[in-house]
Structure 1
Amino acid sequence: MTTMTKTVAMAAGLALAAITAQPALAQNTAATGTIVPGLGVASFDAVIANSNAFRNAEQQRQTTYKAQYDQARTRNDALNAQIKPLVDKFNADRQGGKVGQAALEQQAGAIQQIQENGRAELQRILQPVSLSQAYVNEQIEDKLNDAVKAAMTKKKVSLLLSPDAILAVNGGAYNLNQDILNELNTALPSAQLVPPAGWEPRQVREQRAQAAAAQGQAAPAAAPAAQPSGR
């Protein structure tokens, strides 16, 4: 069994950082050599992360959801304080060689259970934050397609590739990031931060609709009503 040397790190990945590092928006207009007419590259993730709507929402969220952030930090610290002595005891018992394997596994299981319960609790606390992030991203994504089309039209780009999809180019491709970003900022200067009551992310709505459609198809057709017999 691997020695446990760390307490639970719950803050990571739970939106507790003030503003996470965002993909950089490349400024160069070409990759290498002469620009290939009609060929462009763009990173949608970088464009979204550098948009005014996204960046402003990230800053505003720290104030709007301060209570949730503070509660999550406080609870995270308490959980780490609870787990640390258990981890220290586990490591000491394992290294001492006087505690049997079954007892060590029981200790490890208890620690893992606390960790899992703690992560679930922090996710519940930060659920409003996660919904806000999904709500803002969806608003931006709804405008992104038109922004891409407008930028491609203005720069006469007929083929747009992701940087990750390019293995080699004999020449250069126009970097459309800034052009798309300009169009996106114009179309959506800011986004609504707090979703309306009962709002669900697009993925959840689509899954719910698919489940309802599948259930409707599986349901047997209603039997025709019995007709009264004639006398």
Structure 2
Amino acid sequence: MTTKTKIVALAAGLALTAVAAQPAFAQKKGATAATGTIVQGLGVASFDAVIANSNAFKTAEQQRQTTFKAQFDQARTRQDALNAQIKPLIDKFNADRQSGKASQTALEQQAASIQQIQENGKVELQRILQPVGMSQAYVNEQIEEKLDGAVKAAMTKKGVSILLSPDAILAVNGGAYNLNQDILNELNTALPSAQLVPPAGWEPRQIREQRAQAAAAQGQAAPAAPASNPAPQPSGR
């Protein structure tokens, strides 16, 4: 795992976690399960795996390393400084605990101080990497908006009427079409690439929905939010 990835994993409070699963992609029509039979009309697909392997997602992941290099570098520098600050405190805490000379109260105070520094550092890293998290959320939302159409198109072309998640299957006496690759092909056609940087004022869907619910509860109209796929603009910087 790279340093950049570790930093993002630590400070991904706003990020819709980038899916890391790499699927075993589509069975050919002639491929079979244990019984050598494919159940007509039944399909299996992992949406997370399809998204992670889409051209739009993978391209955005690559572009993000360049577009947000300043944020990544700043976060890495701050993470190193935090580690340097915390290490001697942890070493002292361990030494005092092993020596048996420090009181329980003193040890608890040391532990609380270390934990506070860690929590403050996490908040600071989240703030530094907030643009990265917003970019991840923005790209994922664009992909998700095209995914439903891609799923329906793939199901229609393959004659699949029921689509299941691999996680929902306990046992199968027979086989089913693996639609991952078919859905991926449709998704790549519908969305070859995604906009990397959200427009000014954009908020993730979850936050927009929360605002709308709060406004509805108060009998007010929800404020308009920028669309997730505005007029085309150059990707990257």
1:27 equivalenced with 2:25 (yes/no): yes
CA distance in 1, matches of 2:199, 2:7: 27
Does the aligned pair in 1 maintain the 2:26–2:179 contact within 8 Å?
no
Pairs within 5 Å for 1:68-83: 68-83=71-86
In structure 2, the CA distance between the partners of 1:28 and 1:195, relative to structure 1 (3 Å rule), is: closer
The percentage of counterpart residues that share the same residue type is 81
> After the TM superposition, which residues 8-87 of structure 1 pair with which residues of structure 2 at under 5 Å, given as runs?
11=7, 13-14=9-10, 22-29=20-27, 30=31, 32=33, 33-87=36-90
Query: In 2, Cα distance between the equivalents of 1:211 and 1:56?
Result: 36
**Structure 1 residues not aligned, in runs of 5+:** 1-9, 218-231
Specify whether residues 166 and 176 from structure 1 end up closer, same or farther in structure 2 by C-alpha distance, changes over 3 A only.
same
Q: C-alpha displacement at 1:155, in angstroms?
A: 0.2
Q: Is the 8 A contact 2:43 2:179 kept in 1?
A: yes
Aligned CA RMSD, in angstroms, stands at 1.6
Q: List gaps (5 residues or longer) in structure 2.
A: 1-5, 13-17, 221-237
In the other structure, the counterpart of 2:148 is 145
SS of match in other structure, 2:7: coil
8 Å contact 2:19–2:52 — kept in the other structure?
no
Contact 2:42/2:161 (8 A) holds in 1 = yes
- Between the aligned partners of 2:76 and 2:165, the Cα distance in structure 1 is 37
Q: Which residue of 2 aligns with 1:116?
A: 119
8 Å contact kept, 1:31–1:174: no
Which entry has the higher C-alpha Rg, 1 or 2?
1
Give the structure-1-normalised TM-score.
Answer: 0.85
Relative distance call for 1:141 and 1:28 in structure 2 (3 A) is: closer
Distance 1:15 1:74 in 2: 14
* Displacement after TM superposition at 1:15 (Å): 6.6
Tell me how far apart the structure 2 counterparts of residues 146 and 15 of structure 1 sit (CA, whole Å): 32
In the TM superposition, 1:165-176 aligns within 5 A as 165-176=168-179
8 Å contact kept, 1:25–1:178: no
Secondary structure of the 1:37 match is coil
> 1:14–1:126: 8 Å Cα contact kept in structure 2?
no
Say how many residue pairs are matched.
205
Residue in 1 that maps onto 2:92: 89
Partner of 1:208: 211
